[in-house]
Amino acid sequence: MTPRKYHQIMQGDSATAPAAEQTVHIKQLKSSVTASTFTPQTIHGDLTSLAQELTQFKRHGTPQFDDIKAFAERIWRANLAYETALAKLEREKRMLTKQMDTIWGSFDTLIKPLWRVDDAIVPLYDSLAAIRLHLEQLHLEMTESTSKQESDRVSSDLTEVQKKLHGLEEAWVVDGKFVPPGWVVGGKVPGGQAIVANLLAKCYRSVRTVQELDVDPVVDKTLVPTQLRLESVVKALKQYKTALFNNEPVEPLELTSLQLHVDAIANLQKDGHFVDTDQETSEILKGQATLQELLEEAYDLVHQCLVETEAKEDIANRETKVGDLVSRVAGVLDSLSLQSTEGVLGSAPALHSFQETLNEGYGFVKQSAVESVEGAATLASLLRSGLASLGKSFAMLEPMDETLVPVRDRLVALKKHMISLRNDRDGKIAGNIRSGVEEWEDFGGYHEVRKELEELEALDLGRDEMGRFLNKEGGAPLEGQKELKTLLEECFVLAYELL
């Protein structure tokens, strides 16, 4: 789906509604990535992992709306990473092409003193050398061309050069060898094959280079005003996007105005083609592809700006919620700490009240990336401490049933392992920052955490319909259930911090 189509679906039939109303569904895209950060370096692995997660997720009944939103955000970011990766590959292609030209040129220089071209194929070598010089001149002319007439002339000359190359190959190549016309099969193969092959390959590479320069279609003069309008609005949208992504002050109404401008230009089309508004004609004017690309780019920029604007609003709202949760969870910790200091153990109802507050914080951390908003990491840390203290209190009030001890032991082992991974990660990240490298993907324990999270999810799904942990016999003793629940949630928070 193109950005323009996505924008139109989000917008509906109204072309004049405010930006906030037009992106009611875009607002559902969460700005935090809940599982991984996509980068061009790991795009294939990340997309494979995301596809597997989606397949696995569909097997667990009807998904929750919040989970759908989280996946929508991840897929959107994956698409951006995909486009970034393609752009990088295009840059690498140009770089490699330049390197290969240098290598072939060096090889040509290297082999000339070592081999000579037999007199029999010297005419072929001379013809190819002349074509090579002609192609260099065409490349220069195409680069400097400023009119359609000049481009057409160069394209015509290039076609003639290609015909000459094909003609030389037909006349001089037999069974992959360069031989003079009239050569008898089985006769002596003239020397200098490598030099001629190198020169022929360089000619064909030069042809491709000139062809790539001749890709800008000419826009009909009656459509030039539309082209200039599109180029102007694209430039303005790029400036707005830069300011928005750099957290500079922007005026929302400016984006709305630019969006309406793009819609107005799009409405100039008739049957999907841009037309001359002053003179009706059935002829499809030249330059449609150029204008469509500019229009798609404009809609793409509008879409990116709208998503980023809504994401910033969502982050601001969640930062407010995080601040409130941090205060309340800190209050729970103070109460539990005071009880421990005074040697007074709270009653089960009091602990249950504390647990409700922690559950609210746990729900927020579970649905959001831990470091997506200011204060979220603090909330996760306080939440872990609160869950650990609450679990100890439950253990003192209600001893664990012996048949559930293996479950507790496994959770404790997972907790210790993830704490070790966290310490290892923090140390590596600190070292990378000092060396100027901050790639999270360099953390080797990332995949271990994914496995730990899968095991936690298996333990979570293994509970009965009332949320109780089961022993080996399939029973669900009441003693120790609260302690196990808080321990499981503490492990989940650890995993979310690491991911």
> What does the DSSP 8-state code read for residue 179?
-
Measured CA angle at 39 (ends 33, 42), to 5 deg: 110
pLDDT band at 60 (very low <50, low <70, confident <90, very high): low
Instruction: Give me the pLDDT at residue 430, please.
Output: 61
Which residue type occupies 364?
Answer: F
Per DSSP, what are the bridge partners of residue 270?
273
Most confident of the following: 209-218, 336-345, 435-444:
209-218
What is the pLDDT averaged over residues 92-101?
78
What is the pLDDT averaged over residues 468-495?
88
Query: What percent of the chain stands above pLDDT 70?
Result: 69
Which residue type occupies 35?
Answer: A
What is the pLDDT averaged over residues 13-33?
35
Q: Which residue has the higher pLDDT, 119 or 427?
A: 119
- How far apart are the C-alpha atoms of 490 and 479, rounded to whole Å? 19
Instruction: Give me the pLDDT at residue 237, please.
Output: 92
Evaluate if residue 17 carries a pLDDT over 50: no
Evaluate if residue 21 carries a pLDDT over 90: no
Instruction: Give me the pLDDT at residue 167, please.
Output: 92
pLDDT band at 175 (very low <50, low <70, confident <90, very high): confident
Query: Helix crossing, 288-342 with 376-397: angle to 10°?
Result: 40
Residue with tokens 């040509």: 108
CB 69 within 8 A of CB 28: yes
pLDDT band at 403 (very low <50, low <70, confident <90, very high): very high
- How far apart are the C-alpha atoms of 28 and 10, rounded to whole Å? 11
Q: In this predicted structure, which of 51-60, 242-251, 335-344 has the lowest mean pLDDT? A: 335-344
Rg (C-alpha) for the chain, rounded Å, is 33
pLDDT band at 36 (very low <50, low <70, confident <90, very high): very low
Q: Which residue has the higher pLDDT, 2 or 53?
A: 53
- How far apart are the C-alpha atoms of 283 and 271, rounded to whole Å? 12
Query: What percent of the chain stands above pLDDT 90?
Result: 10
Most confident of the following: 135-149, 223-237, 379-393:
223-237
Q: Which residue has the higher pLDDT, 62 or 390?
A: 390
Most confident of the following: 134-148, 170-184, 216-230:
170-184
Per DSSP, what are the bridge partners of residue 273?
270
Question: Kind of pairing, strands 173-174 and 269-270?
Answer: unpaired
Evaluate if residue 334 carries a pLDDT over 80: no
Please give the mean pLDDT across all residues of the chain: 75
Evaluate if residue 300 carries a pLDDT over 80: yes
Longest dimension (CA), the chain: 109
Query: Helix crossing, 288-342 with 224-245: angle to 10°?
Result: 10
CB 219 within 8 A of CB 227: yes
Instruction: Give me the pLDDT at residue 127, please.
Output: 93
pLDDT band at 114 (very low <50, low <70, confident <90, very high): low
pLDDT single digits (tens) 350-370: 676 677 777 777 776 766 544
Instruction: Give me the pLDDT at residue 113, please.
Output: 62
Question: Kind of pairing, strands 177-178 and 173-174?
Answer: antiparallel
Instruction: Give me the pLDDT at residue 172, please.
Output: 92
Compute how many other C-beta atoms are within 10 angstroms of the C-beta atom of residue 115.
12
- How far apart are the C-alpha atoms of 386 and 378, rounded to whole Å? 12
What is the pLDDT averaged over residues 270-275?
83
